Amino acid sequence: MHSDIEVQIQDNAEEIKRLQRCINNLVSVLALPVMWSGHDSSQIAITLLDSLVRMLQLDFAYVRISDSGEDSWKEWARSPGHHPIEAEALGRALGQSLTSDRLTETVVLPNPAGEGVVSVVVFRLGLRGELGRFAAASHLADFPTEIDQLVLQVAANQAAVGLQEARYLRQAQADLARANRVSTMGELSATLAHEVNQPIAATIIDATACLRWLSREQPDLGEARVAASRIVQSGQRAVEIVNRVRQLFKKETLQRELIDLNEIVREMARLLQSEASQYAVLVRTQLAASLPQVMGDRVQLQQVLMNLMMNSIDAMKDVDGARELVIQSQRDEDGQVLISVSDTGVGLPPQQAEKIFDAFFTTKTHGTGMGLRIGRSIVESHGGRLWAVDNSPRGARFCFTLPVR
């Protein structure tokens, strides 16, 4: 019994370390757009490959990008420093695995960068691969693990957005979108790091307690069993956090689909719960039953809602009295879906309620003035409307409507 519990503790400790590595890798991937800002496709490709080879200890990573939409390609490849690799030769070696429609399947090939064989997984860049292809390879027997797949898919999605901006740089809109994305991803990364630290800290405390119960002259197996059970619960909590990240980023860019906005509200409320708790903000949802679905891009609508909620939390950080964030869903008098985000914060700037949607207008010390402008653009591109009013008796209320299916 004693030995079984120790094995369980060791297994859970390894799982927590694995989740820590996953979170660290995701935060690093989410930070890549900061490095790409203002750079061309070459810089995006090289930074992407170098980062992933280092993070996932790959045998090699390869990307080919379409050249200005024509039927020609530019290729880059990276491998660990002691195994230099030539991109064009690697592209020929990968052959049909780059053009197959079944890109999510793993293929096993002779290792072009060394000895033996490697497992290769390929991802599209862009919804249909119109921007190019990205491949990662490792000789490890379990590659790619589920977490490897998650990190690589998020990286591919981030790269696709960066490449799209680099190719079509309508300068004003691209600058706005990039700054807002960097700001939003930075906030999300900080929230994830804060949230995942809680189950990790709990696991360390419980593991220490468990070992203490077991090291007694007469081991207290009952107390050790309770502590081990709490370790399992903390591990499951960390897994739930990773799963939430997967749900948030698994969709490819600009993909229209039928969406349940109540589901998106619940996802964002769970994701930002830790951030709200840090500032003693009570988060409540009031969701209409049988809310009709809307047609839209899930990631973009998540971004709008997350930005509104983060703004509300920020507006309540320094206020006295109750701090309450309420997200409601209902149908308006025209039959459209109406989502509102209400807070008890500092409220709208006097006589400037509409100016907050102007590019670069901000009331925050370190604000970019981009979030609300981008949010309104996204909502309007979905056929809806985004506006703000004063909340009674204190704070602000942001509302947006979207047409039903």
Whether 2-185 shares its CATH topology with 256-402 is answered no
What residue segments make up the domains of the chain, in order of their start? Answer: 2-185, 256-402
Residue 130 region by backbone torsions, left for phi larger than 0, else alpha for psi between -120 and 50, else beta: alpha
pLDDT at 280 over 70: yes
pLDDT at 172 over 60: no
Cα–Cα distance measured from residue 227 to residue 208, given in angstroms and rounded to the nearest whole number: 9
pLDDT at 59 over 70: yes
- The matching CATH number, chosen from 2.40.110.10, 3.30.450.40, 3.40.190.10, 3.40.50.1980, for 2-185 is 3.30.450.40
Residue 355 region by backbone torsions, left for phi larger than 0, else alpha for psi between -120 and 50, else beta: alpha
Peptide bond into 33 cis (omega under 30): no
pLDDT of the residue at 393:
82
pLDDT at 201 over 60: yes
Structure confidence at residue 379 as a pLDDT band (50, 70, 90): confident
What are 71-113's pLDDT values in tens digits? Answer: 677 888 888 865 567 888 888 888 777 776 656 668 888 887 7
Nearest to 268 by CA among 307, 324, 323: 307
pLDDT at 18 over 60: yes
Higher-scoring residue by pLDDT: 184, 286: 286
**Stretch 306-317: mean pLDDT:** 87
Cα–Cα distance measured from residue 139 to residue 260, given in angstroms and rounded to the nearest whole number: 41
Q: What are the start-end ranges of the E strands in 260-370?
A: 282-287, 294-297, 324-331, 337-342
Q: Give the phi and the psi of residue 48 in degrees, each rounded to 5.
A: -60, -50
Q: Following DSSP, what letter does each residue of 132-153 receive, concatenated?
A: EEEEEEE--TTPSPHHHHHHHH
pLDDT at 267 over 80: yes
Share above pLDDT 70 across residues of the chain, in percent, rounded to a whole number: 74
What is the second-level CATH architecture of the domain 256-402? 2-Layer Sandwich (3.30)
**Stretch 343-364: mean pLDDT:** 69
Structure confidence at residue 341 as a pLDDT band (50, 70, 90): very high
Contact yes or no for 331/292 (Cβ under 8 A): yes
pLDDT at 265 over 70: yes
Contact yes or no for 264/305 (Cβ under 8 A): yes
pLDDT of the residue at 399:
93
Structure confidence at residue 48 as a pLDDT band (50, 70, 90): confident
Residue 116 region by backbone torsions, left for phi larger than 0, else alpha for psi between -120 and 50, else beta: left
Residue 207 parent element (H or E): helix 171-214
- Which residues lie closer than 8 Å to 142 by C-beta, 6 or more apart? none
Contact yes or no for 42/259 (Cβ under 8 A): no
Q: How many CA atoms lie within 13 A of 6 on its CB side?
A: 9
* Cα angle: 290, vertex 339, 359; to 5 degrees: 155
Cα–Cα distance measured from residue 339 to residue 305, given in angstroms and rounded to the nearest whole number: 9
Q: Give the phi and the psi of residue 102 in degrees, each rounded to 5.
A: -95, 65
Max mean pLDDT range (179-188, 206-215, 274-283, 325-334): 325-334
Token output for 274: 């830790």
Q: In which residue are the tokens 């589920």 written?
A: 146
Residue 10 parent element (H or E): helix 2-30
Structure confidence at residue 339 as a pLDDT band (50, 70, 90): very high
